[in-house]
Structure 1
Amino acid sequence: MQARDFFRLLLLAAIWGASFLFIRLAVPAFGPAPLMAGRVGLAALFLAIIAWCWHKPLLLRGNIRHFLILGLINSALPFLLFAYAAHWLTASVMSVLNATAPIWGAVLGVLFFRQPLSLKLVSGLLLGISGVAILVGFDAVVLQPNAAMAIAAAAGAACCYGLATHYTRRAAAVEPFANAHGSMWAAFCWLLPLALLQPPVTVPSPLQGIALLLLGVLCTGVAYLLYFALVRDIGATPTLTVTFLIPVFGVSWGSLFLNETVGWHTLAGAVTVLCGTALVTGFTLSNLWGVKQSKC
C-alpha cells in the first residue's frame, strides 16, 4: 500500500468516525427518523449528481427489490438505530460498538449460512463480548433509564451491517457505485414515511443544520466514493481495515468537540473489541501493508 492509499484510508476512517459526532449534535433537534431521512436523501442527491457527471445509470431495471433490501439493512435501519442510541450513548461508545459488525457477521454466518465454527471465531466472539462489557459496564451511561435500550439499538445497528455483508455476497452482482446510489434512494423511501410521522422536535440551530448536511454529503456520499475508490485501487481486504481505525477517530472527535470522558474502560473496551474483530476477520498487518489485492 502506497502512502497515498494509507492517507485515504485514514481520511475515510476520520469521516466515518465523525458521523457519530454529527449524529450526537443533530439528533436532539431533528429526532432519529427526520435526521436519517435527511442524511440518506442528501446522500442520494449527491450521488445522483456524481452519476450524471460520470454518466453512470442507476440500473433500476431488475434491481429494485435488491436496492430495497440493501437500503433497509445497510442504511435505513442501522442509521435509525444509531440515531436512537445517540440520545443516550456517547460518540465514543457508538463508534466502538460499530466495530463489532464483523463479529456479528461471523455469528450470523455460523447460525444461518452454514459457515464452520472455528476456535479463532469463538475466541474472537468471546473477546468482542468482553470488550463490550468493559466498555459499557464501567461507563456512567449504564445509570441512565434508557441505557439498556440504547446499547441494544447500537448493537443491533452493527448486527445489520454484519447481515448486509452476507446479503451482498449472495445477491446478484451489481456495480458498486450503482449499489451505493440505488440503496440510498431505497433507504430514503424507507425512512421518509417515518420522518413525516415524527416531525423535528425543535427548530434546528445553524450548527445542527450543518451537522445534517455533513452527515449526508460528507459522511455518506463522499465516504462511499472514497470507499469504492479504495476497493478499486488496493482491494477489498485492505480497505476493510478501516473498521479498526474508525473507533480511534470516533473517540477522538467525541473527546475533542463534545468533551466526552475517555476513561480506562473506553480504551480497554475498544482494544478488546478490536482484538476480537481481528480474530474473526483474520486481520493481520499484512492486510494493511501487503501487496495489492485483486480488484472487486
Structure 2
Amino acid sequence: MSWLNSVRNALPFVAKKASTEENLWHKCKGCGQMVFVKELEENLSVCPKCDHHERIGPKIRFGQIFDGDYQVLPMPRVPEDPLKFRDSKRYADRIRTARTATGEQDALVNARGTIGGYGAIVGVQDFAFMGGSMGIAVGEAFVRGVENAVADGVPYVIFTAAGGARMQEGILSLMQMPRATVAIAMLHDAGLPYIVVLTDPTTGGVTASYAMLGDVQIAEPGALIGFAGARVIEQTIREKLPEGFQRAEYLLDHGMLDMVVHRRDLPERIAQTIGYLCAKQAA
C-alpha cells in the first residue's frame, strides 16, 4: 500500500475507495477480449466471443461430464521425492506449492460416475499441477483408474493435459509410459473400451504413451497435441511447418483423431461412444 493510500485510509472523513473483486473479468487467451467470469463459467469455460476452450481442472470437468453425483477415487500413495531432486528449488517444495495452488494431491484425479446413464471411470489430468506432468503418482493413478474400471466392468475415459514426463523423477517418470500401456492391455483383455479426450495441451511422453492409445480418440477444438514442440521440429527438418500444425483440427484432417467435439457436446458424444462400444455388455 502506498503512503498516499495509507494516509487516505487513516482519515475518518475521507470516503473509502470502493473495492472491486479482481476475478470479475477474465482475459481470453484466444482473442484477448475481456470476458465476464460468470458468463464464461455459464458457457462451460468456453469464450462466448471466439469459442476458445479454456483449460479447466478435475472438479469442473467432473461436474460437466458426469450426469450428477460422482465419487472421487482416493489417490494412491507413492514416494514423493524418490531422487531427492533439486534445481532452483527442492522438488518437495514444488509439490507442496502445486498442492496449495490446486487443492489436488497430484496431476491425475479419477472419479466414478455415470455419463448419459452409462457407468464409467473418468480420469482428468490437471495442467495447473506442474504442467500436468507424468510422474510416479500420475502413472499409479492411471493404473488404479484402469483397475477400478475393470473391477466395475465399465470403460475408462481419460482427459489428457500435460507437458510430458516429470523431469524431477528422471527415468522413474519414463517408466510410467510402459506401465500405462500394460494397464490399457488389461482393459482390452476385459473387453472394455478405453476412450481418450485430448485437451489443450497434450504433449511429450504423455502423447507418446496412453494419450494416443485410445480405442476412440477425441479432442477439444483448438487443442495443442504433439510430442516435440513446433520450433524444435522446424529446426530439425529445416522447413516451415504448415498453418495449424499440431492443432486438433489439423490432426483430424490427417487421420490421427477420430473426432473433434465441442465441450458442450462431450457428455452426449462420449455416452454415444460408450453405448456403441459396450452394446454387447448392455445386451
**TM-score (normalised: structure 1):** 0.24
Q: Which has the higher strand share?
A: 2
**TM-score (normalised: structure 2):** 0.25
Structure whose CA Rg is larger: 2
Q: Which has the higher contact order (CA 8 A, sep 6+)?
A: 1
